Structure 1
Amino acid sequence: MATLLRRALPKGLLLLLRSPRRLGTLSRLSSLVAVEPVRGAPAVGFRPRPDLLVGSRRGFAKGKKSKNEDDDDTIQVPPDFGQNLKSTALSQMEAAIDALSRELSKLRTGRASAGMLDHIIVETSGGKMPLNRVAVVSVMDSHTLSVTPYDPNALKSIEQAIVSSPLGVNPTADGDRLIAPIPPLTKENIQALCKVVAKCAEDGKQSIRRARQKSLDSIKKVSAGISKDAAKKLEKEVDEITKRFVKSADDMCKAKEKEISGR
């Protein structure tokens, strides 16, 4: 009989039988299975207890979510979500328009403009600073600028900075100020500058569209917490704001092109 058990029993159970310390484990294991002869087998076999299988199936049955779990999945949308969303979109699009305006002001035109020198960086004893921080720029006539430094000792540094800029302006000293004649633009200059304006316009509109997309993504994230009508209304309002700012960018660039070409 012992030989038959050694042949029929799995190796793990034989180890349990050989060790007294594991007899307790074996007794617990015997409650899980019923030892019955298996037809056609040379020795003793094992079959699981039918009632144990039923219990196993019940144990793995899919449970239902509790009411509290369902509540945790609900997205809580603040009552002022829509207003904050539109305010954020407006701020981002206004920033894009301001950046576009600064870039366009750097472009030289055939007419003198006080802002056309603002982006020039001057090296002084206090470090590098924009020209409009170290001097007053005023328009003498449609083709001449006057540059008066706050510190007369910075006159030479300002002159060198203007000459080194890509504007093609060569100022001359006149006492404690500089006189900067603005030469007329050539046809090639006008064409090149118009291309720069078009590039600035596209960059500005891309920034505006990115702000729009961020707003739409925010609406999508909370779509489970608001009605479809409310979501569509917000999307429509964001699109209207976007169209308004895109038109503003186009109008600014068209005006700059006219200014450059002198039409």
Structure 2
Amino acid sequence: MAISIRRALASYRSISGALRATNITANRLSSSSPIRYENVTCSPQTNNFLFDCRRSFAKGRRQIREEDDDDYGNATSAVNVGPTIKATAVSQMEAAIDSLSRELAKLRTGRASAGMLDHIIVETGGTKTPLCRMAVISVLDPKTLSVNPYDPNTLKELEKAIISSPLGLNPQSDNQRLIVPIPPLTKEHVQAVCKVVAKSSEDVKQSIRRARQKALDTIKKSVPKKKDKDKSASAFSEDDAKRLEKEIDDLTKKFIKSAEDMCKSKEKEITSS
């Protein structure tokens, strides 16, 4: 009887130990920690296969990324074509011409021009303000300007600013406004001003050419590549691109001619005054 009890107890202990081992294994497998394989030794063939798989996967991801970028570029091209490119170029070229017009208006000639005082800065109470915002500038006659301040208390500051400018003007005050006689230009001054006009002409032509180049670059990017023609949503063809390039070139020539005409007219005004 005692022997039977000992055998039963031994069997119980064996089964209990097996159950505990099974529970421990199950707990380890159900744990959130990933299973690691650092100690697993693979054959060279397996290692090569895994390396090729990883390399192919990385290559595939890179290719998908590039295709996505191309699709995004094509979608952008479908929007920024034709009239948009032309309108942008025209806007930039017009801005260059407007800038030239303002620069030429600042130059002193032998004739009175209200714009010749616009660039003068007046300092009042520690604040710097363009003269044209502080007074009404008008032409009394071809040789005389009138400066009427909005605030009569700023008359002295206006006078000081005009005298300090490089225009070589000597305003006269009558306690309500400034009378600014325009003296005749000296030969040296005429030559100096003509050089400024020539430089302004070159600067504006460079700005116009930059606007042209930007437009041509955008046109080039807007035409779908040969491999993307089938999947591209862009309706912008190579013929459209060539036609638009010609329009941009024609615009460039017209704006450059306009700039040259403005500068020639200014030089004539300077030399004949």
Q: State the TM-score bracket (shorter-chain normalisation).
A: 0.7 to 0.9
1:256 alignment partner in structure 2: 266
**Higher fraction of helix:** 2
Separation in structure 2 between the aligned mates of residue 203 and residue 79 of structure 1, nearest angstrom: 32
Instruction: Give the superposition deviation at 1:141.
Output: 1.1
The aligned amino acid for 1:175 is: N
Residue pair 2:136, 2:148 contacting (<8 A) in 1 also: yes
2:257 alignment partner in structure 1: 247
Please list, as runs of the form range in 1=range in 2, the aligned pairs for 1:132-147 lying within 5 A after superposition: 132-147=132-147
1:238 aligned onto 2:248? yes
The DSSP-based 3-state class of the residue aligned with 2:148 is: strand
Instruction: Give the superposition deviation at 1:175.
Output: 3.1
Separation in structure 1 between the aligned mates of residue 170 and residue 184 of structure 2, nearest angstrom: 13
How high is the sequence identity, in percent, across the aligned residues? 61
Please list, as runs of the form range in 1=range in 2, the aligned pairs for 1:1-263 lying within 5 A after superposition: 25=40, 29=42, 72=68, 73-74=70-71, 75-76=74-75, 77-78=77-78, 81-125=81-125, 127-224=127-224, 226-262=236-272
TM-score scaled to structure 1, two decimals? 0.73
Separation in structure 1 between the aligned mates of residue 144 and residue 53 of structure 2, nearest angstrom: 91
Larger deviation, residues 216-225 vs 243-252? 216-225
Distance change in 2, residues 1:227/1:123 (3 Å): same
Point out where structure 2 has 5 or more consecutive residues left out of the alignment. Answer: 1-36, 225-233
The DSSP-based 3-state class of the residue aligned with 2:178 is: strand
The aligned amino acid for 1:140 is: L
1:119-174 deviation line (CA, Å, top 9, x unaligned)? 10111237211111111111111111111111111010000000000000001112
Separation in structure 2 between the aligned mates of residue 59 and residue 119 of structure 1, nearest angstrom: 69
Separation in structure 1 between the aligned mates of residue 104 and residue 262 of structure 2, nearest angstrom: 9
Residue pair 2:81, 2:222 contacting (<8 A) in 1 also: no
1:183-205 deviation line (CA, Å, top 9, x unaligned)? 00011111111110000011111
Residue pair 2:139, 2:145 contacting (<8 A) in 1 also: yes
Separation in structure 2 between the aligned mates of residue 204 and residue 71 of structure 1, nearest angstrom: 41
Separation in structure 2 between the aligned mates of residue 173 and residue 25 of structure 1, nearest angstrom: 99
1:176-221 deviation line (CA, Å, top 9, x unaligned)? 1111111000111111111100000111111111111111111111
Separation in structure 1 between the aligned mates of residue 118 and residue 199 of structure 2, nearest angstrom: 21
The DSSP-based 3-state class of the residue aligned with 2:199 is: helix
The aligned amino acid for 1:113 is: S
Larger deviation, residues 152-161 vs 227-236? 227-236
Instruction: Give the superposition deviation at 1:25.
Output: 4.6
TM-score scaled to structure 2, two decimals? 0.71
The aligned amino acid for 1:94 is: E
Distance change in 2, residues 1:120/1:79 (3 Å): closer
Separation in structure 2 between the aligned mates of residue 82 and residue 157 of structure 1, nearest angstrom: 52
Distance change in 2, residues 1:214/1:142 (3 Å): same
Separation in structure 2 between the aligned mates of residue 147 and residue 71 of structure 1, nearest angstrom: 65
Instruction: Give the superposition deviation at 1:80.
Output: 6.3
1:215-260 deviation line (CA, Å, top 9, x unaligned)? 1111111222542211111111111111111111111101110111
Number of residue pairs matched by the alignment: 219
